[in-house]
Amino acid sequence: MAFAPSDLETLAVEPLMTREFEARPAAVYSRLRSRYGPVAPVDLYGVPVWMVLGYREVREVLRDETLWKKDPKHWRWLREGRVPSDWPQLPNYMISFQLMQDDEQRKATRAILDAALAPFQDTFAPQSWDLANTVARHADELITFFTDGNDSGVVDLNAHFARPLTLMVINRLFGFPAEQGDDVFMDAWRILDVDPDAAAAVGRLLAATTELAAYKKQHPGDDLASRMLAADSRLSVEQVGLELYAVLVIMSEMTSYTIANSLLEVVAGEAGKSSLMAGPAEELVNRVHIASPPWVNLSSRFPVADTELGGFRLAAGDAVMPSIAAAHHDPMFAASGSYERAVSSRAHLAFGVGPHQCPGRDLADMIVSTAVRTLFDRCDFELDVPVDELPWRSSAYVRGLKSLLVRFQIREWQAPRRPATGAAVPTPAAPAPAPTSDPEPAPSAEAEPAQPERPRSALWRFLASLRRG
């Protein structure tokens, strides 16, 4: 079947990245849906793309790898030289890693990543228990740090808890040597902030993950980098470095913003103040994945043949951007009962679906639920600013809190510590291997919070400077 030229070539498209989208993206999704239906043409920084708004249509695109490809070589505008050289998203489409691969190449890389992540997501594996205890320990350290001597009683839970906790756990998971961990932490922070030094930070961070892969090839440990190398000896350190870089950036944004958005869900509840968190932390996090997913839109797919979607003609090679946030706001999604099923069964799209579904969703959920549970076990909070004055970072792909200023009160009592995974923790048959970057054994989740030494490192000095500011 031969279609006429793509409707994307003839329709007038409106810019997506407007002040309205940055402030009220849900309103933009609603207006586009009212005007066009489940698929809408939009202008993304000067390049026309199809935005997929319907829940059913998003699932269709994400699940069918036969028609919908991720490799940018299928993008017609890129092949024809029509994408401006200064298009802000172009660098992301020029790197060959698992996120941009299809078919057999994707399967091979994904198998390696799945094998490397498996013991950290298996609740019966000692690596999983060790990492869960590490999350709880670092969460306790950060809580102790921002409460100790804080006469104002005010803290930015994004800057002082959600973001540093995520990066500290990544450092442990990756097995960065202690002397390199702080530099990695700071560069990841610069990238998340779109700091003036962000472009240079990307280069340094990629160099750091590649250097880590080279180091682990000679000095393997019980960490993600070593396990990737062990899964396939043919992998080059450069390819492992690329995959580690992608995991680091995606995981740091996904996890830190989900922690902050989950905290906001509780603190900005009907009472306006958190007492005991209602219900299990895992259910709270699941609700947040639906109502406020950090990854609002996914990188483009490209049909390899002319096709129809949402009542429009799409030409082979058109750019198609699936919107998770818009799909979760699809009235048909709620009316069909899919919303209730998603809350109870994790059938939401926050981690994607299909062949490119996030391989670390169980790990990310463990980190977030442990962080939220630990925080509310130790403190009560109330917002220090009106909820409608909270600053958000809203880009084409990510939406999350820039800061979450709250007033805190330390609990006079603390609830008994529960296992970080939400299940009974069995006794391992053998002790877990000692982590490369943390030579001392991690205390159990029931232990008293560790008191960080000051001055401890560049990380803790930086957090101290934020607190003084």
| C-alpha separations of 289 from 9, 231, 234, 260, 286 in Å | 34, 31, 37, 12, 5
Q: What is the pTM of this model?
A: 0.84
> What are 329-345's pLDDT values in tens digits?
998 887 766 666 666 66
pLDDT at residue 338 in the model: 67
Query: Nearest to residue 406, comparing CAs of 152, 164, 192, 189?
Result: 152
Whether residue 2 lies inside any domain: the answer is no
Whether residue 75 lies inside any domain: the answer is yes
pLDDT at residue 209 in the model: 92
Average pLDDT over residues 81-101: 82
d(CA 320, CA 107): 22
d(CA 442, CA 39): 49
3-state helix, strand, coil in the chain (%, to 5): 50, 10, 35
- CA angle, 251 as apex, 248 and 255 as ends, to 5°? 140
Report residue 203's pLDDT band, with 50, 70 and 90 as the boundaries. confident
What is the DSSP track for 437-456? T--SPPPPTTSPPP---SS-
Judged against a pLDDT cut of 90, whether residue 213 lies above it is answered with yes
Query: Nearest to residue 271, comparing CAs of 372, 381, 407, 113?
Result: 381
Judged against a pLDDT cut of 90, whether residue 463 lies above it is answered with no
* Residues in Cβ contact with 144 at an 8 Å cutoff, skipping those fewer than 6 apart: 449, 450, 451, 452
User: Looking at the 3D structure of the chain, how many domains does it have?
Assistant: 1
> What are 126-171's pLDDT values in tens digits?
999 999 999 999 999 999 999 988 888 899 999 999 988 998 898 8
Query: Nearest to residue 365, comparing CAs of 169, 148, 146?
Result: 169
Which domain does 279 fall in, by range? 7-468
Q: Would you say the C-alpha torsion 284, 60, 107, 87 has a positive or negative sign?
A: negative
E strands in 135-268: 154-156
Average pLDDT over residues 420-434: 36
> Poorest-confidence range of 18-27, 116-125, 282-291, 444-453?
444-453
pLDDT at residue 186 in the model: 73
- Cβ neighbours around 40 below 10 Å, total: 27
d(CA 87, CA 153): 44
* Residues in Cβ contact with 75 at an 8 Å cutoff, skipping those fewer than 6 apart: 83, 93, 300, 302, 317, 319
d(CA 12, CA 128): 51
Average pLDDT over residues 247-254: 88
Query: Nearest to residue 290, comparing CAs of 341, 335, 358, 339?
Result: 339
Whether residue 70 lies inside any domain: the answer is yes
The conformational region for residue 265 under phi > 0 = left, psi -120 to 50 = alpha, else beta, is alpha
Rounded to 5 degrees, φ, ψ at 387 are -60, -30
Rounded to 5 degrees, φ, ψ at 154 are -120, 140
Whether residue 433 lies inside any domain: the answer is yes
Of the chain, the end-to-end C-alpha distance in Å amounts to: 63
Whether residue 1 lies inside any domain: the answer is no
We report the CATH number of the domain holding residue 265 as 1.10.630.10
pLDDT at residue 206 in the model: 87
pLDDT at residue 448 in the model: 42
Judged against a pLDDT cut of 70, whether residue 179 lies above it is answered with no
Judged against a pLDDT cut of 60, whether residue 422 lies above it is answered with no
Q: Please compute Rg for the chain using Cα positions.
A: 22
Q: Report the length, in residues, of the chain.
A: 469
pLDDT at residue 221 in the model: 94
